[in-house]
Amino acid sequence: MNIVVICLAILGAFIVLAIVAVSVTGRRQPSQRIYRHATILFVAARRRGPDTRFVAEGALWTSRTLFPLIGTEDAYWTDFAILPPDPSAGSRLSTQSGLSDLYVAQVELTPVPALALGVLRLRHRLGLTRRPTGPVPTAVDHIDGRRELLPTSQSIARAQAHVPRTPVTMVNFLEYYARARGDTKDGRDAYLRYGREAFKAVHAVGGQFLFAGRITAVLVQPQHPDWQRDWDDLAAMIYPDPTAIFAMEQIPAYRRALDECDDGLKRTCVIATRAY
């Protein structure tokens, strides 16, 4: 009987330690600073030149553009930032003389439990999920899907040209179909079904979630006509290096989910950035 009690005590202690490890890991994820708020301001800025500055006081996160990955040959924006909710932020940012264009959107964050982030991060750290080791493709012609939602050969080459083992944040602008193709649900629902598998695949290749949410208001509309679109959602994921995103296609569940992406997503722009 004593042996049973001891075994149960050891098992209980192990479970408690596991829960604590998951909880601590989840709370240390980069998203948690942002997720102190239910709503944030997302800022895209274009500096006038390399010698000008973009100042985002009180920013929760800032990054600088590296290269466009999907949906555009010209990233256009030079800097991105996430700010706490502040109705006056748009007008303050608009007064910066070093900027030639600006986009400020209010975003309602999609809830993501810290425990889920902790589980996914620990699974990767313990080797339970691993990044596939296949070579980085030079093109994505082998993937069945709409070409405009996939990286081009040029953008893959840009990713390979960047310094390896340098973390990058992929910023996603998302516009959905009003009704998903071949589905009775709307485009967002179809894309979110894909998003659940993408979320797991990002962590499987060593990446981390930063934020995702629905645009509820545009506080500053950009001047450039190509960016005056009614984007629906914004999201960002951190990858351990610029080519890690291409390893995801080798994960079977993610590969199968690409059909849901095609069905729900009308248009996207994905821009690779580096946090600073």
Tokens of 240: 């351990």
Q: What is the CA radius of gyration of the chain?
A: 20
Residue 264 confidence (pLDDT) above 70:
yes
C-beta separation of 168 from 66 below 8 A: yes
For 65-113, the pLDDT digits (tens) are 999 999 999 999 999 999 999 989 988 999 999 999 999 999 999 999 9
**What's the average model confidence in pLDDT over 141-150?**
79
Tell me which range, 22-31, 129-138, 168-177, is most confidently predicted by mean pLDDT: 168-177
For 20-38, the pLDDT digits (tens) are 888 889 899 999 999 999 9
Is the pTM higher than 0.75? Answer: yes
- Please give the share of the chain, as a percent, with pLDDT higher than 90: 70
Tokens of 234: 């914004």
Residue 19 confidence (pLDDT) above 90:
no
Q: Specify the residue for token string 């509820």.
A: 216
Residue 1 confidence (pLDDT) above 60:
no
In the 3-class helix/strand/coil scheme, how is 199-217 assigned residue by residue? HHHHHHCCCEEEEEEEEEE
- Among 45-49, 156-160, 237-241, where is mean pLDDT lowest? 156-160
Among the listed residues 174, 181, 179, the one whose alpha carbon sits nearest the alpha carbon of residue 198: 174
How far apart CA 136 and CA 43 sit, in angstroms, is 32
Q: How many CB atoms lie within 10 A of CB 128?
A: 11
